[in-house]
Amino acid sequence: MIALILFAVCYFFFVLFPNRKAEVGLLGSLALVVLGQISWDTAFFELVNWNVVGLFLGTLILAELFLLSRVPAVVSEWLVDRSSNARTALMSIFILASFISMFVENVAVVLLVGPVAMTLCEKLRISAFKPMVLLAMFSNLQGTATLIGDPPSMIMGGYMKMTFNDFFVYQGKPSIFFIVQAGAIGALLYAWYLLKDEKKQVKLIPVETVRSWIPTLLLVLLIVILALGSFIDKEVSWLAGITAMGLALIGMLWFWTGPRWIPVVEMLKNIDWKTTLFFASLFILVGAVQKAGWMDVAAKGLSSVLGENKVILFIVIIGLSILVSAFVDNVPFLLAAIPVVMDLAKINQISVPFLMFALLIGTCLGGNITPIGAAANIVAVGILEKKGQPVSFGDYVPIGIKFTACAVIPAAIVLWMIWA
Highest-pLDDT range among 71-75, 117-121, 358-362? 358-362
Q: Which DSSP symbol is given to 170?
A: E
Report the distance separating Cα 346 and Cα 359, nearest Å.
15
Are 15 and 7 in contact, with CB atoms under 8 Å apart?
Answer: no
Read off the pLDDT of residues 283-300 as tens digits, 9 standing for 90 and up.
899 889 888 887 778 778
> For the chain, how big is the Rg over CA atoms in Å?
21
- 3-class secondary-structure state, position 169: strand
Residue with the larger pLDDT of the pair 410 and 303: 410
Highest mean pLDDT among 180-194, 294-308, 314-328: 180-194
The whole-chain average pLDDT of the chain stands at 88
- Write phi, then psi, for 200 (nearest 5 degrees): -65, 145
For residues 125 and 63, give the distance between their C-alpha atoms in angstroms, rounded to a whole number. 31
Q: Is the dihedral of CA 418, 96, 372, 143 positive or negative?
A: positive
Per DSSP, the three-state class of 260 is coil
The percent of residues in the chain predicted with pLDDT above 90, rounded, is 37
Q: To the nearest 10°, report the CA torsion of 363, 368, 371, 373.
A: 0
- What are the pLDDT digits (tens) for 363-403? 999 889 988 888 788 888 888 887 788 888 888 999 999 99
37: Cα separation from own chain's centroid: 31
pLDDT digits (tens, 9 = 90+) for 25-36: 999 999 999 999
More confident residue, 412 or 84: 412
Percent of the chain with pLDDT over 70: 98
Q: Give the model's pLDDT for residue 376.
A: 86
pLDDT at residue 206 greater than cutoff 80: no
How far apart (Å, rounded) are the C-alpha atoms in residues 54 and 242?
Answer: 7
Angle at which helices 330-347 and 273-291 pack, to 10 degrees?
30
CA quadruple 109, 181, 134, 115: dihedral positive or negative? positive
368-378 per-position pLDDT tens digit:
998 888 878 88
Amino acid (one-letter) located at 43:
A
* Mean pLDDT, range 4-11, rounded to an integer: 90
